[in-house]
């Protein structure tokens, strides 16, 4: 999860998030190059007193600075579209979880385990154990296996919510009357945190999401849910 002095993105826990981080670095490098070029041109304009009459009417230069931005946009658009299609790719999932947003908590349903349903509330500060994170810890975590495709079915019971886990590269809106879906494959075990990312009312900041990712062999041994 993020820490107080973190500047970049959180460490990736899924292939999609690794692709997003790579694209972020790719786009940021292009932005740095454009910014440096513009600042350098401004510096020369402000410090040079000579005027070159050859550039007052230069068709070749105008052609270059018209075509070059188009090429840069293509270099940004192609990997962006690739990642966009990857995020919409729904393979054969090993497990399906339904997340339902409420004001102001999440409800989860394990559709492959006999309709196991439970609510996930944020723990008040008085109930926190040493090492628990304030405003992020919940009473019932979502336990999921790693190295297995998981499909999340996300909806809402009342207002707009957004089910977001940054380490997995997931952010899907929960809309009343509509069922959205997303898929992910976690690559590392651990506990990962997220929050509702859609302003949904007075207690919007009190809707944490906690995923506990464990090895597939342990998950298949039997129920590991603490309700």
147-167 residue pLDDT tens: 899 999 999 999 999 999 999
Closest CA to 161 of 111, 212, 99, 116: 99
Span between the terminal Cα atoms of the chain, in Å: 24
CB 174 within 8 A of CB 204: no
106 alpha-carbon distance from chain centroid: 18
- Residue range 15-88, CATH number: 1.10.287.90
Q: What is the pLDDT of residue 115?
A: 74
Mean pLDDT of the chain: 87
pLDDT tens digits, one per residue of 33-71: 999 999 998 888 788 776 665 656 667 878 888 899 999
Ranges of each domain in the chain: 15-88, 95-221
> DSSP class of residue 202?
T
Task: Report in angstroms the alpha-carbon separations of 35 from 26, 32, 44.
Answer: 15, 5, 14
- Taking CB atoms within 8 Å and a gap of at least 24, the contacts of 136-141 are 136/1, 136/193, 136/195, 136/208, 136/210, 137/208, 137/210, 138/208, 138/209, 138/210, 140/108, 140/225, 140/226, 140/227, 141/191, 141/210, 141/211, 141/212, 141/226
Residue 1 has pLDDT above 50, yes or no: yes
209: enclosing H helix or E strand:
strand 208-214
CATH code matching the domain that covers 95-221, chosen among 1.10.1200.10, 3.30.200.20, 3.20.20.30, 2.60.40.420: 2.60.40.420
pLDDT in tens, 157-204: 999 999 999 999 999 999 999 999 999 999 999 999 999 999 988 889
**For residues 90-104, average pLDDT:** 89
Residue 138 has pLDDT above 70, yes or no: yes
Percentage of the chain lying above the pLDDT 70 cut: 93
Residue 4: which pLDDT band, with cuts at 50, 70 and 90?
Answer: confident
For the entire predicted model, the pTM comes to 0.82
Pair 176, 198: CB distance under 8 Å: no
CA–CA–CA angle 183, 184, 188 (5° rounding): 165
Q: Is the pLDDT of residue 95 over 50?
A: yes
Q: Are 210 and 138 in contact (CB under 8 A)?
A: yes
């Amino acid at each position: 999860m993020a820490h107080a002095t973190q500047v970049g993105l959180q460490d990736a826990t899924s292939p999609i998030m690794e692709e997003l981080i790579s694209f972020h670095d790719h786009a940021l490098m292009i932005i740095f190059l454009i910014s440096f070029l513009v600042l350098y041109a401004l510096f020369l304009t402000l410090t040079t007193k000579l005027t070159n009459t050859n550039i007052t009417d230069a068709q070749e230069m105008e052609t270059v600075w018209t075509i070059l931005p188009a090429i840069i946009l293509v270099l940004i658009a192609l990997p962006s579209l690739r990642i966009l299609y990857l995020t919409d790719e729904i393979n054969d999932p090993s497990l399906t979880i339904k997340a339902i947003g409420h004001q102001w908590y999440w409800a989860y349903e394990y559709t492959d385990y006999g309709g196991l349903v439970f609510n996930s509330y944020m723990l008040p500060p008085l109930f926190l154990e040493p090492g628990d994170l304030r405003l992020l810890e919940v009473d019932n975590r979502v336990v999921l296996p790693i190295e297995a495709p998981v499909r999340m079915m996300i909806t809402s019971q009342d207002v707009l919510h957004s089910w977001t886990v940054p380490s997995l590269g997931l952010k899907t809106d929960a809309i009343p009357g509509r069922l959205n879906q997303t898929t992910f494959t976690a690559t590392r075990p651990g506990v990962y945190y997220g929050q509702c990312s859609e302003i949904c009312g007075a207690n919007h900041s009190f809707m944490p999401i906690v995923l506990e990712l464990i090895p597939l062999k342990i998950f298949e041994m039997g129920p590991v849910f603490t309700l």
